[in-house]
Structure 1
Amino acid sequence: MSPYMFTAAAIIAVIGILIVFKVNLDKIKEDPEQVAKAQSNFFIGVAIIEILPLIMIVFALIHAVPLPIEEIYIPAFIIIILMAFAMFFIFLQRKVDVEEDRKQAVNQFSIIAIALANAIPIIALVLMFINIV
């Protein structure tokens, strides 16, 4: 059960962060002067979204039992696909409807979002592989 709890935590975190990213990126694209406010809103949103996944990870870690590696293949594959999707989504949003004077702000915001969107999935992968027999 614990590998799927890690996977669920990663899914909740990534989807929530991508939604908050999209909302704040649209604000930056409309008005590049609002970068600081959009980043603040993004960080607050990420902090709120990551509460449940962190609780799920701690719960899964407490109730973890050693598993054979064969039971970790599918959850690990799902998390890796999720990480690739997050990066693809962020890079795609970075290229769509961005004027030349706003590219710098959008690129910086996208790099921050990639790091935050992949943090929980990386933690989930590492903790899953720690529980291998």
Structure 2
Amino acid sequence: MAPYIFAAAAVIAVIGIIIVFKINLDKIKENPDLMEKAQTNFFIGVAISESLPLILIIYAFINIQEEPVPVDELYIPALIVIMMMVFATFFIFLQQKVDVEEGQKQQVISFSMIALALANSIPIIALVMMFMNIA
């Protein structure tokens, strides 16, 4: 049960961060002078969207069973988490290339790299926690 809670935490975190990223990246593309305000809003949105996944990770960690989990029970949750990481990476790089003027390119790239690191943080934690309890 705990591996699926980790996977759910990763899904919720990635989807929330992607939504906040898209909203703030559109603001940066419209007006590059609002970069600082968009980044502030982005970090606040990430903190809010990561609150539930962090609670889920703590809950799953508390409820990890005494006996180790067989590896075959981790295939599906680990695949879900890895697919979310791939989706986040693909989505962020795609948004970085679409409708970006030459003068905005550096700001969009730096914002995208920050978003990529934050979007993959909870899935990495989920993978590590899943594989800590392998038989």
TM-score above 0.5, yes or no = yes
Measured in 1, the distance between the counterparts of 2:83 and 2:12 equals 14
- Hey, what does 2:16 align to over in structure 1? 16
TM-score (norm 2): 0.98
Partner of 1:47: 47
Whole-angstrom distance in 2 between the partners of 1:82 and 1:104? 26
Alignment of 1:82-93 (within 5 A): 82-93=84-95
**CA distance in structure 2 between the partners assigned to 1:24 and 1:7 by the alignment:** 26
Q: Partner of 2:4 in structure 1?
A: 4
How far apart, CA to CA, are the structure 2 residues paired with 1:81 and 1:124? 13
**CA shift at 1:54, angstroms?**
0.2
Q: TM-score, normalised by structure 1?
A: 0.99
**Cα separation, 2, equivalents of 1:121 and 1:69:** 18
Q: Which runs of at least 4 in structure 1 moved beyond 4 Å after TM superposition?
A: none
Aligned partners of 2:117 and 2:17: how far apart in 1? 11
Q: CA deviation at 1:56?
A: 0.2
- How far the C-alpha of 1:36 sits from its partner, in A, is 0.4
Q: Which residue of 1 aligns with 2:121?
A: 119
Indicate the RMSD between aligned Cα atoms, in angstroms: 0.4
Residue 105 of structure 1: which of 93, 104, 107 is its match?
Answer: 107
Gaps of 5+ in 1: none
Shift of 1:123: 0.1
Q: SS where residue 103 of structure 1 aligns?
A: helix
Cα deviation per residue 1:48-107 (whole Å; 9 max; x = unaligned)?
110000000000000012200110011001110110000000000000000000001000
